[in-house]
Amino acid sequence: MKRLIPCLEQDNVEIELILLIKTLLTACKEISFRVSQGALSNVLGSTLDENIQGETQKKLDVISNQLLKDMLLESGKVRTIASEEEDFVVAATENAPYIVAFDPLDGSSNIDINGQIGTIFTIYRAKDDAPANSELQFSQKGTEQVCAGYVLYGPSTMLAMTTGGPTRLYTLDKTQGCYLLTTEQLSIPTETQEFAVNMSNFHQWSAEFAHYINDLILGKAGIRAKKYNMRWNGAMVGDVHRVLSRGGIFCYPNNINQPEQPAKLRLLYEANPLAMLVENAKGKAFTEQTRILEIQPSDIHQRVAVIMGSANEVDKCLSYLR
Ligand code: AHG
Ligand code: MN
Ligand code: MN
């Protein structure tokens, strides 16, 4: 099986970027080890703090954020960092070529139940027309990402990543400490009979979105004339991993009862990287109106509605919303 670095070299990824990816994934290897030790490494449970988004931080959110931040700051390759767990951007190395954003631990509520969790990351080129300590570094559309990926800490630790070409899947070989290529090219089937949505939010959805889900639930008797299955992980990284592996549609629509903050998922370090992975695996990724990767960001913690996965199913869903 091919190791990660030779794969990246073969994909003609520039050396500076390879070195940065290597650093990032070394931090994830460390997170993976701590996750697998669970209660033994004293990483479970909550802290007494909240992040800027008002969410209680779990110990593992904080530890993962610190590990990633420390290693990226030392790498010399990163000009600016943004993280779900950092209120503001962090200036790193002046004149370094890249900027990195991450959700250090996605699916926090799964930490204490030994469920799927992961780290989501995205890399862009640094902008020379903005200082290293400025949010403007991240004022770039998702189409500008030079690398996007996640590391999923499940029964095995897996890395899904794209550097602009196909979305590839690697598995962490814990005996050797390296990521090995296990699926050369992920390809999401265009049709599906599986959907992922938090059904308990039914009464917060627009009538149009509720109508779409209702038609799925009607199954063979309804207009869609097939039986749909539902899965909900509570960790976007796990749900989208399933979609990348066998198809499906993942939805986190707007909450119409909360017009001041209708969406839940974050554009920079959740929606954009996963949208790039999905699109490069032949899927589609939209908000309720637009292609996620074409949104001009206004804030590093900005939230967007998300509808992504099997191309024909995403089209179908959007046809209810137009
Ligand atoms: P995070 O743990 O980084 O805050 O993200 C959790 C997100 C996402 O991963 C998941 O799909 C969603 O929140 C789960 O939301 P529900 O609480 O509605 O299930
Ligand atoms: Mn998250
Ligand atoms: Mn998180």
Specify the residue for token string 């190395």.
93
- As a whole number of angstroms, the distance between CA 154 and CA 203 comes to 32
Share of the chain above pLDDT 90, in %: 93
Question: Token pair for residue 110?
Answer: 């799964």
d(CA 220, ligand 3 centre) in Å: 37
d(CA 232, ligand 2 centre) in Å: 14
Based on the structure, what is the number of domains in the chain?
2
pLDDT of residue 58: 86
| Residue numbers of the domain that contains 305 | 194-321
Q: Whose CA is nearest to atom 14 of ligand 1?
A: 234
β 194-196/229-230 pair status: parallel
pLDDT of residue 293: 99
- Average pLDDT, stretch 120-134? 98
pLDDT digits (tens, 9 = 90+) for 246-305: 999 999 999 999 999 999 999 999 999 999 999 999 999 999 999 999 999 999 999 999
pLDDT of residue 50: 83
> Are 221 and 172 part of one and the same domain?
no
Q: Whose CA is nearest to atom 17 of ligand 1?
A: 234
Q: What is the three-class DSSP state of 293? A: helix
- Average pLDDT, stretch 55-80? 94
> Are 214 and 310 part of one and the same domain?
yes
CA of 110, closest atom in ligand 1: 2
Last residue in a domain, options 153, 183, 213: 183
Q: Whose CA is nearest to atom 19 of ligand 1?
A: 234
The pTM score is 0.97
- Give the type of residue at 29: K
Pocket mutation for ligand 1, best pick of 243, 265, 269 (most atoms within 8 Å of C-beta): 265
Does residue 114 register a pLDDT over 80? yes
pLDDT of residue 173: 97
pLDDT of residue 78: 98
Pocket mutation for ligand 1, best pick of 151, 252, 268 (most atoms within 8 Å of C-beta): 252
pLDDT of residue 228: 98
What residues flank ligand 1, with Cβ below 6 Å?
Answer: 55, 84, 103, 106-108, 198, 234-236, 264
Looking at the domain assignment, is residue 275 inside a domain?
yes
Q: Whose CA is nearest to atom 3 of ligand 1?
A: 106
d(CA 226, ligand 2 centre) in Å: 32
Last residue in a domain, options 118, 152, 183: 183
* CATH number of the domain that residue 18 is part of: 3.30.540.10
Sheet containing 229-230: give its strands across: 229-230, 194-196, 249-252, 306-309, 284-286
d(CA 55, ligand 2 centre) in Å: 11
Looking at the domain assignment, is residue 155 inside a domain?
yes
d(CA 85, ligand 3 centre) in Å: 7
Looking at the domain assignment, is residue 188 inside a domain?
no
DSSP secondary structure code for residue 7 in this structure: H
> Are 177 and 305 part of one and the same domain?
no
Helix locations, the chain, DSSP H: 4-10, 15-37, 59-75, 207-217, 236-246, 272-279, 311-321
d(CA 147, ligand 3 centre) in Å: 19
Q: What DSSP string describes 165-199?
A: S--EEEEEETTTTEEEEEES-----S--SEEE--G
- As a whole number of angstroms, the distance between CA 226 and CA 320 comes to 18
pLDDT of residue 73: 98
> Are 216 and 310 part of one and the same domain?
yes
pLDDT digits (tens, 9 = 90+) for 176-209: 999 999 999 999 999 999 999 999 999 999 999 9
Burial tier of 60 (Cβ tally within 10 Å: 0-12, 13-18, 19+):
buried
Contacts of 197 (CB under 8 A, 6+ apart): 213, 230, 232, 250, 251, 252, 253
- Average pLDDT, stretch 78-103? 98
CA of 235, closest atom in ligand 1: 9
- As a whole number of angstroms, the distance between CA 304 and CA 270 comes to 10
> Are 97 and 239 part of one and the same domain?
no
Q: Is 88 left (phi over 0), alpha (psi -120 to 50) or beta?
A: beta
pLDDT of residue 87: 96
Looking at the domain assignment, is residue 247 inside a domain?
yes
pLDDT of residue 55: 81
pLDDT of residue 149: 99
> Are 206 and 315 part of one and the same domain?
yes
Mean pLDDT of the chain: 97
pLDDT digits (tens, 9 = 90+) for 26-56: 999 999 999 999 989 888 888 878 888 888 8
Last residue in a domain, options 183, 205, 227: 183
> Are 312 and 260 part of one and the same domain?
yes
Q: Can you name the residues that pair with 159 across neighbouring β-strands?
A: 151, 170
> Are 153 and 16 part of one and the same domain?
yes
Looking at the domain assignment, is residue 89 inside a domain?
yes
Q: Can you name the residues that pair with 124 across neighbouring β-strands?
A: 99
Looking at the domain assignment, is residue 189 inside a domain?
no
Does residue 10 register a pLDDT over 80? yes
Specify the residue for token string 């390879």.
18
